[in-house]
Amino acid sequence: MRPHPLAAACLAVLLCVALSSCSRQEEDTDDTAEPPVGAALDTDTGEADESSAPPDSDDAWPFGAPVGWAGQPMAAAPADEEETEGDSGDEDTGDTDADEDTGDEADADPAEDAPDEYPGVTGGAAGETVTAADADQLAEYLEAEEPLVVEVEGEIDLDGSVRVASDKTLLGVGEGVELTGGGLVVDGSDNVILANLGMDSPGSAVAVRGGSHHVWVDGSTFSGGGDHALVTVAEGADHVTLSWNHFTDAESAITVGGEDDAPGALRVTVHHNFFDGTSESHPSALNAEHVHVFNNYFRAVSEYGVRTSFGSQVLVEGNYFENTPVSVSTGSDEPGNAVTRDNLLVDSAQPEPRGTVPDPPYAYELDDTVNVPELVMSGAGTD
């Protein structure tokens, strides 16, 4: 199991190990191994970004910071839109007499107090830490209005879908954490962290939708899924990072967007994930504004690795494709754009680049592609 940076809310020993894991992308790689025999290096479009990783932000908040879109600020929605989301409507149903008594405050413009932008994801760091012992308690905590860090141990049968409200961290503590019989739904919520979870779900294990934004799914193991992708990001969801997860025993891993999604959202980072024998969608992107796929390990993927369609913009770099018949596809009927660089292909087909894709606005540092399998297998998921 890879200890997780969210361990600030757990035992001190987890914190110590988490601090060491945060440095895994900065380890010395002077003794880089040679590419395996028969490997092909994808160098179609220039050099990889070698910018520094984001500085340590532990002083700013205790859970560390994600690399990628979930850590990137975004402009806040207009005040009238914010009033229609989440629980803000409850505040407007108070005593009308109280409104009359507020004098000048009643005439104040609520937009003056609204933030100019949403910061990067912090989850429930501003709230208390609680422990959920069963599915009912877990649902109660995750649906609460206030910020919370919710810890779980052992096995819990969700018995259906559980909604995750805004400002929540769900953290598996210790080994053997497994959520079964359902999935987690982040619908219309923002600022959510899901980490160190084992999930065997009959459908999607995690669904991020309904305009949700700033969601980080990290260090978890997903299996099952049935006819659905294990993780789905759709319906205008934005600023999502999926990192250090293990996808196994499933047909479809990750879908981003759909045919009905409007352009302008669906900015997702997929990095250091282990796609272990899954068939397709690693991810599959439709109508996505920007998807960044880097330093993932694709092993024995039976159909295809990454697919971009319906005008999606996907940057694929520094990934290790092994026994993957189609590494990167741009679709046929409604193609998307794909820029590929510095991917290592072992018994795998060359990618199908198309068009141009901008580099992301955030800082990140690529690990040497030849080291990705060992690095990811030792660090991804809860195993």
- Domain assignments of the chain as residue spans, ordered by start: 42-74+118-379
pLDDT of residue 27: 42
> Taking the chain, what is the end-to-end CA distance rounded to the nearest angstrom?
4
Choose which CATH entry (2.160.20.10, 3.40.630.10, 3.40.50.2300, 3.10.450.50) describes domain 42-74+118-379: 2.160.20.10
pLDDT of residue 95: 40
Tell me the sheet residues that pair with 316: 293, 340
pLDDT tens-digit profile, the chain (383 residues): 454 444 434 333 333 333 333 334 444 444 445 677 557 777 664 443 433 333 343 333 345 689 999 999 988 765 544 444 444 333 333 343 434 444 444 444 444 454 567 888 999 999 999 999 999 999 999 999 999 999 999 999 999 999 999 999 999 998 889 999 999 999 999 999 999 999 999 999 999 999 999 999 999 999 999 999 999 999 999 999 999 999 999 999 999 999 999 989 999 999 999 999 999 999 999 999 999 999 999 999 999 999 999 999 999 999 999 999 999 999 778 999 999 999 999 999 999 899 999 999 999 999 999 999 999 999 999 96
pLDDT of residue 333: 82
* pTM, full prediction: 0.80
DSSP state at residue 172: E
pLDDT of residue 78: 56
CB contact burial 334-357 (16+ within 10 A = b; e otherwise): ebbbbbbbbbbbbebbebbbbeeb
pLDDT of residue 383: 62
Q: Classify strands 306-309 and 221-224 as parallel, antiparallel or unpaired.
A: unpaired
Nearest to 298 by CA among 268, 270, 278: 278
pLDDT of residue 93: 36
CB contact burial 284-320 (16+ within 10 A = b; e otherwise): bbbbbbbbbbbbbbbbebebbbbbbbbbbbbbbbbbb
Query: Using only C-alpha atoms, what is the Rg of the chain?
Result: 21
Tell me the sheet residues that pair with 39: 346
pLDDT of residue 56: 42
pLDDT of residue 24: 40
Q: Which residue has the tokens 């599959």?
A: 284
Q: How far is CA 161 from the centre of its chain?
A: 19
pLDDT of residue 263: 87
Nearest to 246 by CA among 216, 209, 272: 272
